[in-house]
Amino acid sequence: MADFDQELDASGLNCPLPILRAKKTLTAMESGKILRIIATDPGSVKDFEAFAKQTGNELLASGEEGGKYTFLIKKS
């Protein structure tokens, strides 16, 4: 996965906490910076797609490895 500026570990958290934590972290970041999120909630895959679509923050990448889901989101 590409480089990122900040990381958020939302492992063990369930809906809607990964989204809420991501939103909070993004709010404190500068436009254009990239946030990497790690989650274990399988629902987060579709949730982050929907989050990106509705907020305008770009979902650069999304992947799964060994039960962990990772997302790269660029702040709009």
Partner 1 sequence: MEQKKLAIIATKGTLDWAYPPFILASTAAALGYEVQIFFTFYGLQLLRRDLNLKVSSLGNPAMPMPMPVPVLMQALPGMQSFMTTMMKKKMKSKGVASLEELRELCVEAEVKMIACQMTVDLFEFDTKDFVSDVEYAGAAVFFEFAGDADICLYI
What gap in Å lies between CA 40 and CA 48, rounded to an integer? 13
Asked if 16 touches partner 1 (CB under 8 A), the answer is yes
Q: Judge whether 26 counts as a catalytic residue.
A: no
Q: How near is the Cβ of 60 to partner 1 at its closest, in Å?
A: 19
Stretch that binds partner 1, among 6-14, 29-37, 58-66, 67-75 (CB under 8 A): 6-14
Annotated catalytic residue within 5, 7, 14, 15: 15
Give me the least distance between CB of 12 and partner 1, in Å please.
Answer: 5
The whole-angstrom separation of Cα 54 and Cα 5 is: 22
- With a CB cutoff of 8 Å and minimum separation 6, the contacts of 19 are 44, 47, 48, 51
Site for partner 1 in 24-63 (CB under 8 A): 24, 40-41, 51, 54-55
Whether 2 contacts 34, CB under 8 Å: yes
